[in-house]
Amino acid sequence: MELLDGNLELKEIQKLQGHTDRIWSLAWNPATSVADVPSVFASCGFDNTVQIWEQSPSTRSWDCKAVLDEPHTRTLRSFAWSPSGKLLATASFDTAVIWENVGGDFEYVSTLEGHEYGVKRLSWNASGSLLATCGRDKTVWIWEVMPGNEFECIQVLQGHTQDVRMVQWHPTMDILFSCSYDNTVKVWWSEDADGDWSCVQTLGESSNGHSSTVLLVAFIAKGDKLITSRYIWEADIIRMQSGDGYAPWNHLCTLSGYHDRTIFSVHWSREGIIASGAADDAVRLFVESKDGSMNGPSYQLLLKKEKAHDMDVNSVQWCPGEMRLLASASDDGMIKIWELETLP
């Protein structure tokens, strides 16, 4: 059944309170929620902790299993799971720290020194062999994972003229995207495995894109579509995967008329449902319209959950498992787990 044809509801199934202040972000462990592996996600907040939540197989509810509160001394802003779920990288205004998941216990591995004013965001590539970090020093660093969980910086990328807000690797290829307060998204590409990355494209106002700060980047699972805040782009990834050189990203459509406040988070589900969290306290879901259009593909609102939280919704993340589960986190200090249900 087509999603747009169904009677759908975003139903709150659990509310979690562990942080003592606003929550910046959350993310599911990608190696969980499959087979008999219980789903696990982490969250980080203004209280300078990362909290690990695990679903109980018996009660199906999530409980906090671990709290990581060292060795960061300044504001903790984000984190990222490695694809295997074994490593967790955390970013703060002091530095980046790597943790290893050993049987459910998280052990400190190393600290990544280098950024001048701390680290804002980080992202692992698809194989887990590279980690990208960015910060207020306007740079992006690429780190290679060495034997023994050692990390070596192999390149520093310079090109942005303002703070770099976020970095994100492509889900299947070693193409890196960075977005900044300079109102652009830069695409970094290496012609070969041993070569240097260089900026091959800038997505900005001149390419029917942003005229203000770009806060976020997210991909559809197979990687042929990209969303930057409210702008959706597409590229010929088959060409790139075949080794036939870089294929540029082209503006596809814009989610216009739906958000009148800042969008803080977007995430694409396996089914192609875009979730957004914004400063108006609401969660919205969008899907691609199947109606033919002279102007090409478009996306339309599937549903809007008014007052999903009492304050700004800073993060929304679809669970990687089979169920349509969505987690959201907010300035109100709450995490909520939602299920997208089809009503009779």
pLDDT digits (tens, 9 = 90+) for 92-151: 988 899 999 998 899 999 999 989 888 999 999 999 999 999 999 999 999 999 999 899
Closest-CA residue to 2 (of 320, 197, 298, 289): 289
The whole-chain average pLDDT of the chain stands at: 92
Alpha carbons 335 and 329: distance in angstroms, whole number: 5
Closest-CA residue to 178 (of 194, 200, 196, 195): 200
pLDDT band at residue 47 using 50, 70 and 90 as cut-offs = very high
Task: Look at residue 176 in the predicted model and tell me its pLDDT.
Answer: 97
| Mean pLDDT value across residues 187-208 | 85
Task: Look at residue 278 in the predicted model and tell me its pLDDT.
Answer: 95
Tally the C-alpha atoms within 13 A of residue 36's C-alpha that lie toward its C-beta.
0
| Mean pLDDT value across residues 161-190 | 95
Alpha carbons 68 and 54: distance in angstroms, whole number: 15
Task: Look at residue 72 in the predicted model and tell me its pLDDT.
Answer: 79
Does residue 293 surpass a pLDDT of 70?
A: no
Task: Look at residue 93 in the predicted model and tell me its pLDDT.
Answer: 87
Q: State the alpha helices, DSSP H only, in the chain.
A: 237-241
Tell me the per-residue pLDDT of 22-36, one tens digit each, with 9 for 90 and over: 999 999 999 998 878
pLDDT band at residue 295 using 50, 70 and 90 as cut-offs = low
Tell me the per-residue pLDDT of 62-74, one tens digit each, with 9 for 90 and over: 999 999 988 777 8
Does residue 174 surpass a pLDDT of 90?
A: yes
Does residue 171 surpass a pLDDT of 60?
A: yes
